[in-house]
Structure 1
Amino acid sequence: MTSQTLAADSTESGESADTAVEARRRWMRTLAMASPAALAAAWLGWEPKPAVQAVRGPEAGLVMVRARIDGGGARFNLGEATVTRATVRLHGEPLAADAVGTCYALGIDLEHARLAAVFDGLLTDAGQRERVLAEVIAPLEAAQAERDETRQAEARSTLVDFFSVAREHA
């Protein structure tokens, strides 16, 4: 199921297409940045499991990372990054219809990309979406927010007030 199909399904249920695309962007970011162990634990506890068929991958490769001078100027090639992608088709119980999930994740963890694609497929099924959001996405987002806050606190602890340092030497 593509993001356009998801947006069309959401529009029928009252959500705007932009809201649906933004929601999918949020959960895909969460799945791609989740720890592989957390995804494996969530899948291990998932019952009933639909049948999973690999459509593409998982496979690792390189992508060119492009950047802009001053954030908005001329583009230039920054370098390459290793990315793993996977596409799976889910069918059978508990899904109402076949679903397709896709994931692109930094790194070379094939199982991480496969599991993230499985949960993406579950999220595209209207009957499973609320369960996945509550049992998988919400805990992963909370853990990521806690980890981000810890990193920000560590970075803030190294802050130097250069104005006061300059004043001392004046």
Structure 2
Amino acid sequence: MTQSYTDEFVDNAQNGSTARQGWLSTLAKAPASEVLKLWEAMVAPESQVLRPAETGMVMVRGRTGGAGNPFNLGEMTVTRCAIRLATGETGIGYVSGRDKTHAYVAAVADAMLQSPVWHDQVRHSLIEPLRQAYDVRRDAISRKAKATQVEFFTMVRDRKA
């Protein structure tokens, strides 16, 4: 039985760094339009920009056969941002592409998720809907790929004749 993305997050919530990796991953993988739509309904606390949203390149690495020797696959555009809430929590946001607003929102959400005051609200209003949408997209892609799967079989002939 496969474990859903949401179940994985809940199971890993005991380990703070793993939970943070989960919500940062969710914010980074979600389409900017979905993140911003959900973000509009939220009220964010005051924050100070430590590193304004900036766009750059990162090297994407792959592995031969998925687990073998690493190699440089190519470069990818990434936008990052860092902020600090008035209460002291520091948040970072890294997203693919050039959307500076998406990176800023991800940084503020990261900081809010570290705060006991804001954590539950952001998790229920932003992270969980994004995870559910991710699960739906992933399942649709999986079903589409499954529909094109070809199963091969071999018939064994009795050669005694």
Which band: TM-score by shorter chain?
0.7 to 0.9
Deviations along 1:123-161, one digit per CA (max 9) or x if unpaired, are: 011111111111111111011101110111111111112
Deviations along 1:79-126, one digit per CA (max 9) or x if unpaired, are: 1111111111222xxxxx222110111111111111111100100111
Question: Over aligned residues, Cα RMSD in angstroms?
Answer: 1.7
Deviation >6 Å, runs of 4+: none
1:33 is aligned to 2:29: yes
Q: Percent identity?
A: 36
Alignment equivalent of 2:77, drawn from 68, 78, 82 = 82
1:121 is aligned to 2:111: yes
Alignment equivalent of 1:102, drawn from 92, 96, 100 = 92
Alignment equivalent of 2:140, drawn from 135, 150, 164 = 150
Q: For the residues of structure 2 that align with 1:154 and 1:59, how far apart are their CA atoms?
A: 36
Please list, as runs of the form range in 1=range in 2, the aligned pairs for 1:1-170 lying within 5 A after superposition. Answer: 19-47=15-43, 49-91=44-86, 97-161=87-151, 163-164=152-153
SS at match of 2:117: helix
Q: For the residues of structure 2 that align with 1:76 and 1:124, how far apart are their CA atoms?
A: 35
Total equivalences in the alignment: 143
Give, in angstroms, the shift of residue 69 of structure 1.
1.8
| Amino acid aligned to 1:55 | L
Give, in angstroms, the shift of residue 42 of structure 1.
2.4
Structure 1's unaligned 5+ residue stretches are 1-14, 92-96
Structure 2's unaligned 5+ residue stretches are 1-12, 156-161
| Amino acid aligned to 1:33 | K
Cα–Cα, structure 1 residues 52 and 42, in superposed 2: closer, same or farther, change >3 Å? Answer: farther
Aligned residue number for residue 10 of structure 1: none
- TM-score if structure 1 supplies the norm length? 0.77
